[in-house]
A and B are shown apart, each in its own frame.
Chain A
Amino acid sequence: MAIAVIMPKQGQTVETCIITKWFKNNGDSVSVGDLLFSYETDKAAFDFESPADGILLDQFFVEGAEVPILTNVAVIGEIGEATASFNPHRTVSVASNPLNNQPSAEIQDLKIVQNAPDSKIRISPKAKRIAGESGLSYHNLHGSGPEGRIITRDIEKILSDAARSAKTVQTMGVEYTEQPLSNVRKLIAKAMYSSLQNSAQLTHHMSADVRRLLEARQKIKNEISAGKNQQDITLNDMICWCVIRALEKFPEANGHFLDDRIKTFHKVHLGIAVDTPRGLMVPAVKNASDMDLEKLSKELKVVAVDCRKGSISPELLQSTAATFTISNLGNYGVEMFTPIINLPQTGILGVCAIINRPADMGNNLFGFVPYIGLSLTYDHRAIDGGPATLFLKEIRNQIEIFSY
């Protein structure tokens, strides 16, 4: 029994998604969990896994096509099964470049259609050869020749669009590659630029004695190796937990600055910066202040994994989903940095590397103590320097009095 592959609904506001890549072609056999295609909303990119075992019988859209949500994207079934009834009966224009918003008049005649299940694909030998040499799939193209015959100009159009998307250019001996921005990249660029343009942010740096955290971390490791505890709570989890405690004491840092008013949240919804192959994502852990350390640790892992898998809900990626953000570059050895606020949030904490520093151990004895760098960027429109410093000191305090 053939089943339809449906473009999922990603959040309440998403109406269409762009198919960015097909990993399977018509006629390929697929199994549950196989990567079928990847797609993007204007906020994030996702992978779609095959919901069934069978043969990919028909793709209704090509790469670059913008597909309304809940529309049939493809059909999986057995060889010979009819797919016409799944056809979304829709003719969708392919943007000349899905990521390029400039309207392209001449591309309008390029249609993606469902070729009737048993119909022969009409393509000129030349177009077929060029498509073959370029590894281009033309099975769902509707050509501009008579009766929809795919001809060379159709293939060349697609190829030149593809070439536009990534081409190495050599002019006067200077080689470079030009690539249009992905939706995720565009989003990051816009958010970061807008943050620096539209706020009064500055960064304070401080360090916290991290010995208690390291002890706790060692204890957890020991417990895991002794089989007493299965949950691997990381240093970052602990720092997040400490920051949440500090935010509870400084609610003004746990809010959104909305130009004419400040929204202060009663609970902490913690944003956490996650590096993914598609770029930076900042998912929120909702109601993080209600969680104990174990629960928080679990949830932080869940959102990070979802981001990397591409299955994170776009709602959690909106900057308004979190009330405060933590960005940890400590693993990379960064000693201090100036993280950029995810507006309308009013602060972001950059967590830096642990450095051994000389410290007064008492009785005029000096020794080396591991300190973790903390870089708090705050929006001076919302918070003054004094409270910001006190808030940062409270974070340090929470780290230094931490007990597990």
Chain B
Amino acid sequence: MTVIKYSQAIRDAIAEEMRIDQNVFVMGQDVETMGGVFGCTKGILEEFGHDRIRNTPISEAVIIGAGVGGALTGTRMLVEMQYVDFILHAMDQTINQAAKVRYMTGGKATVPLIIRAQQGSGRGNGAQHSQNLEALFCHMPGLKVVMPSTPYDAKGLLKTAVRDNNPVLFFEHKVLYNTKGEVPDTDYTIPFGKADIKRSGKDVTVIATSWMVLKALEAAEILEKQGIDAEIIDPRTLVPLDKETIINSVKKTGRAVIVHEAHEVCGIGAEIAFIIMELAIDWLDAPIKRVTSAQAPIPYSSKLEKLTIPSVDRIIDAVKEVMYIK
């Protein structure tokens, strides 16, 4: 085990997979020498050369469109969006093409395309550079959606994504790149559809994604001192979603709080809450609570940004609310 940064874990995953598979190809804005905005592809050019990594014009439609084309012709295309917000330029390529080609060809064509994108707030980047768009892609059949919260998960999941024959949206978080964690020195992968219980508890189930996992864990530490034992579940992949782990936890605790940074309306929290209702209503002792960003654009001001997105305090309040503790 070595303690490395989240960004390093991504870089290691890409390099390792490129060494294992000659068909892995990286493409994106400034990925060559700059290594992308957060340095996730730094050193790839030196090791693998221009045959394996290419800078692109500032055109997301080109990046993803070329990615789909490359994937269809047998390359494992690892493409990067500088900010997830920009993927909206390439929705046709993503949703109409990447997500559907395999279906339209009766399974004859596969699209091993990995779209890496960093998303989320936390750096005062403003409304058009701070969004969390995972729900848009979860909604569309044919796409897998991954949201790692730790270096360990990021590396293991990205390696799985590269080996998958279907389009994967791999959402990193800009705040998480500098977080550190233990990562095995040997090759490992993490299967999709397997949630991770980041903290075991008996009183309340908190389902959190990406950066919010860290906030939920912080909240759990405070709650523990107040005698509340929270279980923190990180689904890690939203599509496929590990219903079993969530349901088992809710059946144990009878209470659920869902925390995500994306907006509340039609967010993944609504989906998870509905699944809990469907599969575990008779185990619920309280209405499910969601802790999400306000239904408003993310403000540019850092202070307002903090007020807009879920905070540790709001998670604590929500937990107490489902525990009926004032």
Contact = CB atoms under 8 A, between A and B. Distances in A.
A126 B324 contact: no
B324 A125 contact: no
Interface string A189-201: 0000000000000
A128 B283 CA distance: 9
Contacts of A129: 282-283
A145 interface: yes
Given A125-B281, A126-B282, A129-B283, 8 more contacts: A125-B285, A126-B254, A126-B284, A126-B285, A144-B324, A145-B324, A151-B285, A151-B324
A22 to B, nearest CB: 25
Interface in A115-151: 124-129, 144-146, 151
With most chain B CB atoms within 10 A of its CB, the pick from A124, A146, A152 is: A124
A248 to B, nearest CB: 70
19 contacts: A124-B284, A124-B285, A125-B281, A125-B282, A125-B284, A125-B285, A126-B282, A126-B284, A127-B285, A128-B282, A129-B282, A129-B283, A144-B324, A145-B324, A146-B324, A151-B285, A151-B286, A151-B324, A152-B285
B170 to A, nearest CB: 37
Given A144-B324, A145-B324, A146-B324, A152 B254 contact: yes
Contacts of A151: 285-286, 324
B90 to A, nearest CB: 43
Interface string B284-298: 111000000000000
- Main DSSP-derived SS at the B contact region: loop
Interface in B243-261: 254
Interface in A84-128: 124-128
Interface in A227-279: none
Contacts of B284: 124-126
A239 B277 CA distance: 73
A252 to B, nearest CB: 68
Interface residues of B, number: 8
Nearest to B324: A145
A145 B286 contact: yes
A151 B286 CA distance: 8
A145 B324 CA distance: 6
Nearest to B277: A125
Nearest to A127: B285
Nearest to B255: A126
* Interchain residue pairs A-B with the least CB separation, the first 5: A129-B282, A126-B285, A124-B285, A152-B285, A126-B254
Nearest to B254: A126
Contacts of A145: 286, 324
**Residue picked from B283, B285, B286, B324, most chain A C-beta under 10 Å:** B285
Contacts of B254: 124, 126, 152
B11 to A, nearest CB: 46
A144 B286 CA distance: 12
A129 B284 CA distance: 10
A151 B324 CA distance: 9
A97 to B, nearest CB: 24
Contacts of A126: 254, 282-285
Contacts of B285: 124-127, 151-152
Nearest to A151: B285
A278 B254 CA distance: 41
Interface in B152-177: none
Nearest to B250: A126
Contacts of A124: 254, 284-286
A152 B324 CA distance: 11
B279 to A, nearest CB: 12
A141 to B, nearest CB: 15
A173 to B, nearest CB: 30
A127 B282 CA distance: 8
Most chain B CB atoms below 10 A, which of A126, A128, A145, A146:
A126
Nearest to A129: B282
A257 B261 CA distance: 83
A391 B254 CA distance: 72
Contacts of B281: 125
A147 B285 CA distance: 14
A151 B285 CA distance: 6
Nearest to A145: B324
A146 B320 CA distance: 12
Nearest to B286: A124
Contacts of B286: 124, 145, 151
A135 B78 CA distance: 59
Contact of B283 (A125, A144, A146): A125
A128 B282 CA distance: 8
A126 B322 CA distance: 13
B276 to A, nearest CB: 11
A231 B166 CA distance: 97
A42 B254 CA distance: 40
A144 B324 CA distance: 8
A146 B254 CA distance: 16
A144 B284 CA distance: 15
Contacts of B283: 125-126, 129
B130 to A, nearest CB: 35
B252 to A, nearest CB: 11
A122 to B, nearest CB: 11
A127 B324 CA distance: 14
A136 to B, nearest CB: 15
Interface in A172-213: none
Nearest to B282: A129
B10 to A, nearest CB: 41
B204 to A, nearest CB: 12
B117 to A, nearest CB: 39
A176 B324 CA distance: 38
A68 to B, nearest CB: 31
Nearest to A155: B285
Nearest to A144: B324
Contacts of B282: 125-126, 128-129
A152 B281 CA distance: 13
